Structure 1
């Protein structure tokens, strides 16, 4: 699965979670960059990503996830394309 495919899926997830589609997704994006991104939104993003890409994040991965690029790298390595 390519990074482009992952970012396309994440764009849909972010649009659903934040109820807007104007968030410019990039590897460097973090919660500090999006006003509404709190711990509850983080949980929604993680759960939707796990469901969409068929990956389960470990506690250590979640603890070390600082930027969107961290999430993308894990999905690229272990995820499966949505059917």
Structure 2
């Protein structure tokens, strides 16, 4: 789980929890360079957190780890569903 300590990799996992995306789609969504996204995805692939599927010239990435899916879901429940007043009290 140390892999998700990087804010960029955590955000990549959040985006991939919704389904497959390409490097270009992830880079645009996060405002990062494609090379940066590719480097982070390589780390995540080595740790078997994401899987890659080639479709022509595009590579589509998806979450492979159920543990990561569960962590992302727990974070979303804890931090993404609160209204601003509840969030300020935490």
TM class by shorter chain equals: 0.3 to 0.5
- Bigger fraction of residues in strand: 2
Larger Rg: 2
Where relative contact order (Cα < 8 A, 6+ residues apart) is larger, the structure is 1
